[in-house]
Structure 1
Amino acid sequence: MDLQNQTAIVTGGSRGLGLGIVEALVDRGARVTVVARTAGDLESVARRLGVGTIAADVTDRGEAGRILAELRPTILVLNAGAPPRMAALDKLSWETFSKTWNTDVKAGFHWLQAALATPLPPGSRVLVGSSGAAVLGSPLSGSYAGAKRMLWLMANYANGVSTENKLGIRFQTVVPRQIIAGTGVGDAAAAAYSAKSNVTLEQYFTRFGAPMPPRQFGEYVVTLLTNPLYEADLAFGLKGGTGISILEGAAV
């Protein structure tokens, strides 16, 4: 896919990994709109990068349908989510445990449905943000690992609907394979797990090898979109030192 003048939407693109994706897309000439909740963060991104912005609650079904129908993007990156409460299972209430399901999964559900119902143009790519926790678990972050695994599964389910209805939309999952410094989720997770392991933050981050700053993560996402090698597969792992790996291939 040539990104020049492609219409792209990135949810949660005003900070962290989402912002890294937005920067990389803009550098390739895509026309990007960032959807996020906080108007102040959106204004800052708009001034610096010249992107379009929409302040919206990504868990609102009506907003998802309205935005996709209005902009009809050929690239949709579902990155928005809420940082989980970091605590052991016995220290969480049901409300704090289920927070990620009520934000990340709910938002993914509505946006995936809207992408299929609008529908997006044939040849469109929808990238769904997951996490390495979906593979390995995360005992200090409540339902986070399960929620991120559910998003991975939902992307696959959406592919099935797209194929059955001959929509030509491709849904794929992006899985960071390390905790990333400088992001809300990454910093909170690193603080919790380093304290539990009785090591410093610096010592904890060395476990992952080479770092993967948000902008590098964004460049990997651009590679997924532009390199034909990655057009068909379903899930990709991204890591600072080793780049892109295929976690789940295309369905036969």
Structure 2
Amino acid sequence: MDLKNQTAVVTGGSRGLGLGLVEALVDRGARVTVVARTAGDLESVSRRLGVATIAADVTDRAQARRIVSEVRPTILALNAGAPPEMGPLDELSWEAFSNTWENDVKAGLYWIQAALTTPLPRASRVLVGSSGASVGGSPMSGGYACAKRMLWFMANYANKLSSERGLGIRFQTVVPRQMIGGTGTGEAAASAYGAKLGIGVEQYLERFGAPMPPRRFGEHVVTLLTDPRYEDGLAFGVKGDTGISILEGAPA
């Protein structure tokens, strides 16, 4: 995929990993629309990068359908999510345990549905953000790991529907394989797990090897979009020291 003049929508693109991806897409000449809740963050990213912005609740089904229908992106990056509430399993309320389901999974469902039913243009790419917790678990973050795995499943379900209906839309899951400092989720998780071990956030993050700041994450995702080796895969891990790995190949 040549990114120049491609139309991209990035949910949660005003901060953290989403912002790193927005910066990388803009540098490649893509026309980017950022969707997020906070008007101040949107104003800042618009002023600095010249992107279009839409203030919206990503868990609002009608908003997802409206934005996808009006913008008709050829790249849809579903990055928005809520940091999990951290704590031992026996201390979490249901509300805390299910927070990621009510935000990340709910938003993922509505935006994937919008991509399929609008539908997006042929050869569009939908990137669904997951987490390394979907592979190894995360015992201090309630339902977070299962929610992130559900997003991965949903991307695969959507691929089957796209194929059955001849839509030509590809859904791919992006799985950061480390906690990332400077992001809400990364800081919350590293703080909780570090405290359990009696070490600080930075010391805990060092356990993952080379850091992967948001902009480097964005560059990895741009590579997924532009390198033909990754065109047909279903799920990809990204990490600071090893780069991109294929976690699930193209469907048989």
Q: TM (normalized to structure 2)?
A: 0.99
CA displacement, residues 109-136 of structure 1 (integer Å, 9 cap, x when unaligned): 0000000000000000000000000000
Residue equivalent to 1:69: 69
| Matched length | 252
Q: How does 1:240-251 map to 2 (within 5 A)?
A: 240-251=240-251
Partner of 2:21: 21
1:139-177 deviation per Cα after TM superposition (whole angstroms, max 9, x unaligned): 111110000000000000000000000000000000000
User: In 1, distance between residues paired with 2:36 and 2:98?
Assistant: 21
**Structure 1 runs (4+) greater than 6 angstroms displaced:** none
Alpha-carbon separation, structure 1, partners of 2:88 and 2:34: 34
Q: Aligned ranges for residues 152-167 of structure 1 at < 5 Å? A: 152-167=152-167
2:224 matched residue in structure 1: 224
In structure 1, runs of 5+ residues without a counterpart are none
* 8 A contact 2:59–2:110 mirrored in 1: yes
Query: 2 CA distance for matches of 1:147 and 1:201?
Result: 24
Q: State the partner residue of 2:191.
A: 191
2:127 maps to: 127
Aligned to 1:78: 78
CA distance in 2, matches of 1:203, 1:45: 30
2:106 is aligned with 1:92: no
Cα distance, 1:186 vs structure 2: 0.2
Aligned residue identity for 2:248: E
Structure 1: distance between partners of 2:239 and 2:149: 18
2:201 aligned partner, one-letter code: L
Q: CA deviation at 1:198?
A: 1.3
Overall identity of the aligned pairs, in %: 76
Q: Aligned to 2:185, what secondary structure does the other structure show?
A: helix
Whole-angstrom distance in 1 between the partners of 2:77 and 2:14:
13
Letter in 2 for 1:111: W
Secondary structure at 1:238 match in 2: strand
Hey, what's the Cα distance between the residues in 2 that align with 1:147 and 1:80?
A: 13
* Counterpart for residue 3 of structure 1: 3
Instruction: State the Cα distance separating 1:201 from its structure 2 match.
Output: 2.2
CA deviation after TM superposition for structure 1 residue 196, in Å: 0.5
Matched letter for residue 45 of structure 1: V
Superposed CA deviations along residues 69-120 of structure 1, whole A, max 9, x for unmatched, are 0010000000001111011111111011101000000000000000000000
Q: Give a deviation string over 1:45-80, Cα, whole Å, max 9, x none.
A: 000000000000000000000000001000000000
Which residue is 1:212 aligned to? 212
Counterpart Cα distance in 1 of 2:201 and 2:52? 36
Distance in 1 separating the partners of 2:211 and 2:87: 25
The one-letter code sitting in structure 1 at the alignment partner of 2:200 is: T
Separation in structure 2 between the aligned mates of residue 124 and residue 202 of structure 1, nearest angstrom: 38
* Matched position secondary structure for 1:34: strand
Question: Is the contact between residue 122 and residue 167 of structure 2 (CA under 8 Å) also seen in structure 1?
Answer: yes
1:42-57 equivalent positions in 2, closer than 5 A: 42-57=42-57
Give the SS at the match of 1:175: strand
Alpha-carbon shift at residue 204 of structure 1 (Å): 1.1
Q: Is 1:138 equivalent to 2:133 in the alignment? A: no
Matched, 1:108 2:101: no
For 1:28 and 1:140, locate their aligned partners in 2 and report how far apart those are by CA, in whole Å: 38
